[in-house]
Amino acid sequence: MLRTYPLYSGLFALLVSFSIFCCAPAQAQTLINPYEGIDWSLINQYKASLHTHTTESDGMLPPEEVIDAYASLDYDILSLTDHRRISYPWQNWGRDPEDVGLFDIPGCEFSNHNHLNGYFVNHTSNFHSLEESLAEIEEQGGLAHINHPGEYWKLNKQKLVPDEVIRKYVNWFTAFSPDLLLGMEVINHVNLYPQDEQLWDALLSVMMPERPIWGFANDDMHYPYVGLTRLIAVSWEMFLLESLDESQIRNAMLNGQYYFSAHGTVLNSMEWDVNKVPVITEIVHDETAGTLSIHAMSDGADLPDADYVWISMGEVVHYGPVLDYKNTEGIGNYVRARLEGAAGTTFTNPFGLIRDDGRLVVYVSPADAIYSGAEWKLEGTDIWYKHGDAIQLDPGEYTIVFNRIDSYHSPDPVTVTVTANKTTLVTTSDGAEYVYDPSLKLPVSTPTTVTLLVMLLTAVALFYFRAPRAKTKDPF
Task: Give domain limits for the chain.
Answer: 32-354, 357-436
Bridge-based pairing of strands 181-188 and 143-146 is parallel
d(CA 121, CA 139): 9
DSSP string, 297-316: EETTEEPPGGGEEEEETTEE
Percentage of the chain exceeding pLDDT 70: 87
Query: Mean pLDDT for the chain?
Result: 89
Kindly state the DSSP code that residue 289 receives in the 8-state scheme: T
pLDDT at position 424, please? 81
Choice among 68-82, 170-184, 432-446 with the minimum mean pLDDT? 432-446
CB neighbour list of residue 313: distance below 8 Å, 6 or more residues apart: 5, 7, 22, 201, 205, 330, 331, 332, 333, 334
Does an H or E element contain 64, and which? Answer: helix 63-72
Kindly state the DSSP code that residue 428 receives in the 8-state scheme: G
Domain 32-354 class? alpha beta
* pLDDT at 204 exceeding the cut of 80: yes
Q: How confident is the model at residue 356 (pLDDT cuts 50, 70, 90)?
A: confident
pLDDT at position 78, please? 99
CB neighbour list of residue 359: distance below 8 Å, 6 or more residues apart: 20, 21, 22, 390, 391, 392, 393, 418, 422, 423, 424
Q: How confident is the model at residue 269 (pLDDT cuts 50, 70, 90)?
A: very high
| 268, 190 Cβ separation under 8 angstroms | no
User: Considering the entire predicted model, what is its pTM?
Assistant: 0.79
d(CA 68, CA 26): 54
User: What 3-state class would DSSP assign to 248?
Assistant: helix
User: What 3-state class would DSSP assign to 184?
Assistant: strand
At 467, the amino acid letter reads A
Does an H or E element contain 457, and which? Answer: helix 449-466
pLDDT at position 457, please? 72
Residues 138, 144, 150, 151, CA torsion sign: negative
CA torsion 444→445→449→452, rounded to 10°?
-70
CB neighbour list of residue 55: distance below 8 Å, 6 or more residues apart: 61, 62, 63
* pLDDT at 343 exceeding the cut of 80: yes
pLDDT at position 157, please? 85
> Measured between alpha carbons, how far is residue 67 from residues 99, 109, 297, 313 in Å?
11, 17, 28, 39
pLDDT at position 445, please? 56
H helices of 109-231, where?
A: 130-139, 163-175, 195-207
Q: Which residue has the higher pLDDT, 361 or 92?
A: 92
Which among 111, 76, 120, 109 is positioned nearest to 236, based on CA atoms?
76
Query: Starting from the edge strand earliest in sequence, which strands make up the sheet with 358-362, in order?
Result: 4-5, 390-393, 358-362, 423-426
Q: What is the mean pLDDT of residues 82-89?
A: 97
Rounded CA Rg of the chain: 28
CATH of domain 357-436: 2.60.40.1120
